[in-house]
Chains A and B, each alone.
Chain A
Amino acid sequence: MTFPAWVPTVVEAIYFSAAVLFIWGLKRMSSPRTARQGIVWAGVGMATAILATFFLPGMHNLGWMVGAIAVGVVLSWIIGRRVPMTAMPQMVALFNGMGGGAAAAIGALELIRFNAALLLVPDTASIQPEAWAGAAAGLSPVELVLAFVGVLIGAISFTGSLVAFAKLQGWMDRRFVFPLQRWVNLAIFVVAIVCGAIALAAGIDGHAFAWGWLTAFIVLALVFGVAMTLPIGGADMPVVISMYNAFTGLAVAFEGFVLQNEAMIIAGMVVGAAGTLLTQLMAKAMNRSLGNVLFGNFGGGGGAAQQEIAGSLKPIDANDAAVMMAYAERVAIVPGYGMAVAQAQHKIWEFAKLLIDRGVKVKFAIHPVAGRMPGHMNVLLAEAGVPYDLIEDMDDINPEFPNTDVALVIGANDVVNPVARTDKNSPIYGMPILDVSKAKNVIVIKRGRGKGFAGIENALFYADNTRMLYGDGQAAAGELVTGLKSLDG
């Protein structure tokens, strides 16, 4: 296909405006009121950039291209529309992994092309010693290095994200741990780097490299992504997904440099930086360092004995609980992922609305890592129709707990465990928690006597001011609603 000479310039301009729209869109996403427009603007930028790409000079394989785009878009669109909100974290992991895989594939393709070109010009160095043979193959040494790094990061992000997806989806329930795992993983990584470096050194030197080195490099990078993610527990997954998100961004930026595509460089780099910051924020909210997440073993046996918890579990029935809250002045609802699993958020919101109608001041208290990802609980509550101005962050609500008459905990466990403040031997010691135990009364809706994600007894449940409302989250919430309604006749 041939186009007029000005077409590439227009395409460049469209890429530029796409980069502007991405940054603008992300900026709009920083407030709930404008967030929706933000993603739409970014979407407009993306759509025009993709369309414009068809008009670049010298594009072949258009049939394959349109077909692959159609299949990829339709499949993802259907999956993305259908998944329940509780499954959002693994969806992010899945789509992120696809992006990482794409970046790695682009890098691999560029390297293959480069090497194939070098194979055609066997020994340029002897003919023109001053000319760098690689130039004939179309990549500068910097581009060559970045292509390799992009493949490495993209491949790790690809398989790592897929493992994270499988774990959160419940396809791989347990952590996969064996002795000396860290060293095995390190060995895989080092060998991958060595294979890549051998190929890279040859390429920079202007010689073609043996295909085996490149293949081994890519395969080992893919294997490393799996090996690195396998031992990480479900609780730490959000941090890992966020990190892979940043990885993919970087890989995209590097491959963008190789392809001389500014939109990819800017978008990739913005995501790389944003993802890195987000990863730090999440790790901090969970009181975990990134190193700890990647190489530590959480809840993995040993350690000093934890303090015994005194007291007993005191049950309450749903009607009494409903009455208690109906005549309270302030009620704080503390939801956790368990609420979402039980699909109780709609009933809880119905209950909260009834309380609000009676003049009770109701707030929702959200721990930064409630749900499976920071902000996930907000999404789940929003889905149930809870307005975001009733939702308080941990830092805002914690000073209010002493003035709260009733705190209703549903499906949350570790994030309200006062042991995090008091018991130095506890694995969760030091983790920021919601000070639910300081409320005048606490009601905990719980299915049974199980422990939290971290496998630790919860001192809150044994406290004097705590009553346990046993039952499935949704059923219990339903009983609360009935109890409240019966008060009015």
Chain B
Amino acid sequence: MITGFLALYIFMLAAFTGYEIISRVPVILHTPLMSGSNFVHGIVLVGAMVALGHAQGAVNIGIGVVAVLLAAGNVAGGYVVTERMLEMFKTSKVSAAPSPEKKR
């Protein structure tokens, strides 16, 4: 069980992690990144499955199905769109590594 302060610590550490990761991303990747983080919160599908898995009665099952449907859309759409964008980023120099993160 996660309770009280332990949860607070997890919230705090995860928040700093997110902040740190993004602060290093060059502007050219902002759109894919937003889309990528959009995909990551698609983990809500796991929660939606649990909620539906324990639902009883037509109304609750209905809400659960809607939750799973929406979450599945979030996951699949987020992934496809992000992957499509990132796939296109190429450099003109094949070997000599250009330093893409010139600005932090």
**Residues in chain A within 8 A of chain B (CB atoms):** 15, 18, 22-23, 25-27, 29-33, 35-36, 38-40, 42-43, 46, 49-50, 53-54, 56, 58-62, 64-65, 67-77, 79-81, 83, 85, 88-89, 91-92, 94-96, 98-99, 101-103, 105-106, 108-110, 112-113, 140, 142, 241-242, 245, 248-249, 252-253, 255-257, 259-278, 281-282, 285, 366, 368, 371, 373-376, 378-379, 382-383, 385, 387-391, 393, 395-396
Q: Nearest chain-B residue to A266 (Cβ)?
A: B14
Partner of B83, one of A36, A72, A376: A36
Residues of chain B lying within 8 A (CB to CB) of residue A110: 51
Contact at A245–B38, with CB atoms within 8 Å?
Answer: yes
**Residues in chain B within 8 A of chain A (CB atoms):** 1-4, 7, 10-11, 14-19, 21-56, 59-61, 63-93, 97-98, 100-103
Residues of chain B lying within 8 A (CB to CB) of residue A64: 52, 61, 64-65, 68
Residues of chain A lying within 8 A (CB to CB) of residue B76: 72-74, 76-77, 80
Min C-beta distance of B71 to chain A, whole Å? 4
Beyond contacts A98-B73, A271-B41, A379-B31: 15 other A-B pairs, Cβ-Cβ < 8 A, are A31-B101, A38-B36, A39-B36, A42-B36, A56-B53, A58-B54, A74-B76, A80-B77, A88-B81, A99-B38, A105-B67, A259-B50, A274-B33, A275-B18, A375-B32
Residues of chain B lying within 8 A (CB to CB) of residue A256: 43, 47
Contact at B43–A264, with CB atoms within 8 Å?
Answer: yes
Residues of chain B lying within 8 A (CB to CB) of residue A54: 49
Contact at A80–B81, with CB atoms within 8 Å?
Answer: yes
Contact at A373–B30, with CB atoms within 8 Å?
Answer: yes
Partner of A109, one of B17, B67, B71, B82: B67
Contact at A106–B32, with CB atoms within 8 Å?
Answer: no
The CA-CA distance from A248 to B43 in the complex, in Å, is: 11
Min C-beta distance of A244 to chain B, whole Å? 10
Partner of A273, one of B14, B28, B43: B14
Min C-beta distance of A117 to chain B, whole Å? 11
Contact at B21–A61, with CB atoms within 8 Å?
Answer: no
Given known A-B contacts A39-B39, A88-B81, A92-B81, A106 and B47 have beta carbons under 8 A apart = yes
Contact at A375–B55, with CB atoms within 8 Å?
Answer: no
The CA-CA distance from A373 to B27 in the complex, in Å, is: 10
Q: Chain B contact residues: over half helix, strand or loop, or mixed? A: helix
Given known A-B contacts A22-B43, A32-B28, A106 and B21 have beta carbons under 8 A apart = no
The CA-CA distance from A121 to B6 in the complex, in Å, is: 30
The CA-CA distance from A263 to B11 in the complex, in Å, is: 12
Contact at B63–A105, with CB atoms within 8 Å?
Answer: yes
Residues of chain B lying within 8 A (CB to CB) of residue A385: 90
Contact at A274–B43, with CB atoms within 8 Å?
Answer: no
Closest 4 CB pairs of A and B: A72-B72, A80-B80, A273-B18, A375-B30
Partner of B34, one of A33, A42, A373: A373
The CA-CA distance from A282 to B101 in the complex, in Å, is: 19
Partner of B43, one of A73, A108, A241, A268: A268
The CA-CA distance from A68 to B87 in the complex, in Å, is: 29
Contact at B64–A109, with CB atoms within 8 Å?
Answer: yes
The CA-CA distance from A103 to B37 in the complex, in Å, is: 15
The CA-CA distance from A277 to B30 in the complex, in Å, is: 11
Partner of A274, one of B2, B19, B49, B82: B19
Given known A-B contacts A39-B79, A388-B100, A99 and B18 have beta carbons under 8 A apart = no
Contact at A387–B90, with CB atoms within 8 Å?
Answer: yes
Min C-beta distance of B88 to chain A, whole Å? 4
Contact at B75–A270, with CB atoms within 8 Å?
Answer: no
The CA-CA distance from A46 to B42 in the complex, in Å, is: 8
Given known A-B contacts A50-B46, A373-B31, A71 and B69 have beta carbons under 8 A apart = yes
Given known A-B contacts A29-B86, A102-B68, A242-B34, A272 and B18 have beta carbons under 8 A apart = yes
Min C-beta distance of A38 to chain B, whole Å? 7
Given known A-B contacts A88-B85, A109-B64, A252 and B43 have beta carbons under 8 A apart = yes
Contact at B64–A99, with CB atoms within 8 Å?
Answer: no
The CA-CA distance from A116 to B7 in the complex, in Å, is: 26
Min C-beta distance of B41 to chain A, whole Å? 4
Min C-beta distance of B100 to chain A, whole Å? 5
Partner of B53, one of A58, A108, A269: A58
The CA-CA distance from A379 to B23 in the complex, in Å, is: 20
Contact at B63–A53, with CB atoms within 8 Å?
Answer: no
Q: Nearest chain-B residue to A395 (Cβ)?
A: B103
Residues of chain B lying within 8 A (CB to CB) of residue A38: 36, 86
Given known A-B contacts A73-B72, A92-B35, A105-B64, A261 and B46 have beta carbons under 8 A apart = yes
Min C-beta distance of B95 to chain A, whole Å? 13
Given known A-B contacts A249-B37, A262-B2, A60 and B55 have beta carbons under 8 A apart = yes
Contact at A281–B30, with CB atoms within 8 Å?
Answer: yes
Q: Nearest chain-A residue to B19 (Cβ)?
A: A273
